[in-house]
Amino acid sequence: MNNLGRNLALWVSIILLLLLLVNMFQPGTAQHAAQQLAYSDFVADIDSGHVRSVVMQNHNISGTLTDGTAFETYAPMDPSLVSRMVGKGVEVVAKPLEQDGSPLLRYFLNSLPIILLVAAWLFMMRQMQGAGGRAMGFGKSRAKMLTEKHGRVTFEDVAGIDEAKGELQEIVDFLKDPQKFTRLGGKIPKGVLLVGPPGTGKTLLARAIAGEANVPFFTISGSDFVEMFVGVGASRVRDMFEQGKKSAPCIIFIDEIDAVGRHRGAGMGGGNDEREQTLNQMLVEMDGFESNEGVILIAATNRPDVLDPALLRPGRFDRQVVVPNPDVSGREKILRVHMRKVPLASDVDPRIIARGTPGFSGADLANLVNEAALSAARLGRRTVSMREFEDAKDKVLMGVERRSLVMSDDEKKRTAYHEAGHAITAVLVPESEPIHKATIIPRGRALGMVMRLPEDDRLSMSKKNAIAHLVVAMGGRVAEEVVYGKDNVCNGAMGDIKMATRVARSMVTEWGMSEKLGMIAYADEDQGNSFFGASRNFSEQTARDIDDEVKRLIDEAYVQARNYLHDHVDELHRLAEALLEYETLTGEDIRQIMRGQPIERPEEADDGPVNRRASVPQVTGESSSSGPVDGGGVVPAPQPG
């Protein structure tokens, strides 16, 4: 925008100057204050003695009358004119016609408008040539070089992915001492592919490699190669490797490489010519006739399944480093890294926070620390306490509290019974995770929810755990039926029903937990969706059997939840009354209520107890608000393999 303003001001100035000069050198534009006098009148004034003085330049005569009036006239060839004026006592001054300035100066002034026009034309031609040069630079690489003089990132700034750092330490050692590997005939991998979910620190890990090795680091996105003109991307790839060879040893980092490295020939119409030519050029540069020694290519993606096989073969991306979500120990280390710049209160325990955030990525944990710091700043605190971290986790997991939402007494009571049903079944089912918190404070799209805290990070789910999820999910609807009757239930269990259906269908079609259908994968991901609709690889009878098995599992879970709540209806009423009074109950509060013991509330809490344990993303029984809103539900733990 600044360049556009400067260019516009320059052109306006040039145009105004040209108009001014042309106007100055136009003949007859000079304004004269002298009176134009006819020659006959001039002769009469001489004879009558009214002329005081004259200045003669050839035939041009100017002068002053006796009354002080200036005049001008043009005299024809009259030899007696001078003698007549002298005889009348007129002061006569004679000047040559061209006296003011030198001939060279007059020539320059006369030629100045033409010179300015030529200069303006040359300037425009130069601008056009510059634009042409920029057009020729359209195929230049857009990779940016990071020197890391300030804000240098090292492996100390990367935590929670020790295995990935160990894999990449060899790259750092090679960049520091190449002879250590080459003297024995070894070759360093030319390419390293970082694979992992979003937010796990792939880009940060690549910067840490460059920071540890202290070598030039070029960064570019995969989408920067692809343009609408075929061949531009390939030209940029060539230029990128040329820059890399000039700065070798160096690292070139391509983020989101799936934008350019997708499987060739895929999609409608046989693929994209520009993207495929760019990929072909990248394959040749990585492992073609010419070797790019000292240039190590690091790429990151969260979609390794769509990459072209030629890109992943040995000699190109020789090594694939998985960057997963961190475990509880890794989350604790990541939290400590992000907490360095945050003033912490004495009650903050990163271990407890890490235990309560299974499935969180590094970006999620950074956002958690930032939300806690912002919350403490809004309250005017000088340090960030454990309560701010608890509130931040609840906000990240469940959304912002909607205390301004106006709920009728009947809706609030119904929500309390719904969540109480989930809480009681979560306590009574042996295979369920320990309950952590129950609340009827609306958050996000839910009117209330129950959270459970797993003892540790679970990488698999047993059949008993899956059935426990179904029983707890049914507890909310069963509690409404027990209190209000089957004809008076509401749509608050919508999210629970969706979650239970997903779990039950996964048990039957993916996890092999149905004796009737056996250990067969009916949900084949490789089949995908055809252009005309979903494809499947089983018969109509099998589809009916799958539906029957899903319904059987949910019905059995419903019966178990109903038996639990019918046997503990008194606890159901006590727990609902406590939720109506306190709005939020901890797991220990719920267990005390079920044992018939009074609960103790901390006096310093204004809106419920100060939770000293971490909340988790194991949210069950969200009571949905009215309308087509997804209420959420239990999320099964990730499965191995």
Catalytically annotated residues:
419
Q: Select from 418, 423, 470 the least CA-distant residue to 446.
A: 418
Give how far the C-alpha of residue 121 lies from the chain's centroid of Cα atoms, to the nearest Å. 45
Q: Select from 422, 569, 570 the least CA-distant residue to 499.
A: 422
Give, for 452, the enclosing helix (H) or strand (E): strand 446-452
Q: Select from 299, 304, 303, 366 the least CA-distant residue to 160.
A: 366
Give, for 450, the enclosing helix (H) or strand (E): strand 446-452
Quick one: 345 exposed, middle or buried, by C-beta within 10 A (0-12, 13-18, 19+)?
middle
Kind of pairing, strands 250-255 and 295-301? parallel
Query: Which two three-digit tokens encode residue 160?
Result: 């929670």
**What's the Cα-to-Cα distance from 458 to each of 19, 351, 361, 397, 469, rounded to whole Å?**
81, 17, 15, 18, 14
Phi-psi region of 271 (alpha: psi -120 to 50; beta: other; left: phi over 0): left
Q: Select from 507, 527, 493 the least CA-distant residue to 464.
A: 507
Residue 200 annotated in ligand binding: yes
- Distance between CA 180 and CA 172 in Å, rounded? 12
- Distance between CA 116 and CA 458 in Å, rounded? 80
Task: Give φ, ψ of 173 to 5 degrees.
Answer: -65, -35
Residue 454 annotated in ligand binding: no
Query: Which two three-digit tokens encode residue 79?
Result: 């030899």
Distant-in-sequence, close-in-space partners of 257: CB < 8 Å, separation ≥ 6: 193, 222, 299, 300, 301, 307
Q: Select from 138, 35, 49 the least CA-distant residue to 87.
A: 49
Distant-in-sequence, close-in-space partners of 189: CB < 8 Å, separation ≥ 6: 171, 296, 317, 318, 319
For residue 585, the cross-strand partners are 438
Residue 203 annotated in ligand binding: yes
The residue count for the chain: 641
Distant-in-sequence, close-in-space partners of 120: CB < 8 Å, separation ≥ 6: 14, 18
The DSSP symbol for 225 reads T
- Distance between CA 503 and CA 358 in Å, rounded? 19
Residue 496 annotated in ligand binding: yes
Query: Which two three-digit tokens encode residue 332?
Result: 């604790």
Place of tokens 């639990």: 564
CA dihedral 260, 266, 268, 274 (to 10 degrees): 30
- Distance between CA 144 and CA 240 in Å, rounded? 10
Question: Considering all CA atoms of the chain, what is the largest pairwise distance in Å, rounded to the nearest integer?
Answer: 146
Residue 198 annotated in ligand binding: yes
Q: Select from 271, 255, 251, 273 the least CA-distant residue to 263.
A: 271
Distant-in-sequence, close-in-space partners of 19: CB < 8 Å, separation ≥ 6: none
Query: Which two three-digit tokens encode residue 616?
Result: 């988790």
In the annotated binding site for ATP, the residues are 196-203
In the annotated binding site for Zn(2+), the residues are 418, 422, 496
In the annotated binding site, the residues are 196-203, 418, 422, 496
